[in-house]
Structure 1
Amino acid sequence: MTTLHANCVAVEAILIAENLPGRVRMLPDAATTAQLAADQLGCPVGAIANSLIFAVEPHDGGDREPILVMASGAYRVDVEKVSATVGGRLRRADADFVRAHTGQPIGGVAPVGHPARIRTVVDRNLAQYETLWTGGGIPHAVVPWTYPDLLRLTGGTEIDVS
């Protein structure tokens, strides 16, 4: 029996508590890009829901806050479009910022299992896939989701991110 990393255990506990059927799955190789994950899972790259943490600089000059952008692996995030939607300028977050707010490393960020809830936006392009795949807390872990469950558990707002 393989022991899951603590990040994966936290994610799986949420899935179980919410009575979701998906469980954390370990991949043979790290899936640090959508294409690497899709290749290992045998799914379309668009079904990979990248969990991207950005820092939002509020227009009023307040402190930077994290935002989780769940983006289809088939598209690039249009930072200007998302900035206009979320009320502040999106900036790329560095590894320390990501880990401080999620407890997880870049390349393995899950949509849940963070120390505190993170404001989330979800790419409408993901709705076309029956099964979505997200990070599971570390770069070797993935989790299957439905679009409605991803929205519900993250409290995400549907937007066009590309």
Structure 2
Amino acid sequence: MAKSTPATVALEKAKVAFKLHEYEYDPNAERIGMQAAEALGIEPARLLKTLMAKAGNDVVCVLAPSDREVNLKRLASAAGAKSAAMLGAVEAERITGYHVGGISPFGQKKRARAFIEQSALQFPTVLCNGGRRGLQVELAPADLVRVLGATAADIC
């Protein structure tokens, strides 16, 4: 399998040190992030799921621990919006250029403002999708925040 994706290209361009992790993607998994964490033997709090949402009129990218749910009121507050809602799969795929289960916060077709659950910053490294199903990238949370210009907030 090719390891080069728009996400890995974006990370290389930003000169970020990262490590790739491949696993057997299960398209029937009830919770994709939890399935990835289990397959890789990674603590679910360190494996961040990439979600696309709308905060007010703006599309935002949300990184949350795979074992937690995003609180939409807190997300809206962090984004300075009155409300927030998750995007549907078709819209998320159209905006990011990735398939659901392979949506990475890096290398998206249209760059969206990013938010990360602040509890994820406590780890030396975190994992997030590498731009295709069955591929995760491991990197320092500080690099993730820097490259995405992400806002850390209590969103879960």
Give the deviation of 1:126 after TM superposition. Answer: 0.3
Contact kept, 8 Å, 1:15 with 1:23, in 2: the verdict is no
Give the greater-gyration-radius structure (CA). 1
Name the counterpart of 1:49.
48
The alignment yields a C-alpha RMSD, in angstroms, of 1.7
Give the 3-state SS of the residue equivalent to 1:34 in structure 2: helix
Give the 3-state SS of the residue equivalent to 2:62 in structure 1: strand
What is the CA–CA distance in structure 1 between the aligned matches of 2:20 and 2:90, rounded to whole Å?
A: 24
Unaligned 5+ runs, structure 1 = 58-63
What is the CA–CA distance in structure 2 between the aligned matches of 1:138 and 1:95, rounded to whole Å?
A: 15
- Name which of 140, 146, 152 aligns with 2:146: 152
What is the CA–CA distance in structure 1 between the aligned matches of 2:130 and 2:45, rounded to whole Å?
A: 17
Name the counterpart of 1:76.
69
Give the 3-state SS of the residue equivalent to 1:158 in structure 2: strand
TM-score by structure 1 length?
A: 0.85
Give the 3-state SS of the residue equivalent to 1:133 in structure 2: strand
Name the counterpart of 2:129.
135
Contact kept, 8 Å, 1:53 with 1:67, in 2: the verdict is yes
Identity of aligned residues (%): 20
Unaligned 5+ runs, structure 2 = none
Give the 3-state SS of the residue equivalent to 2:133 in structure 1: coil
Name the counterpart of 1:61.
none
Give the 3-state SS of the residue equivalent to 1:47 in structure 2: coil
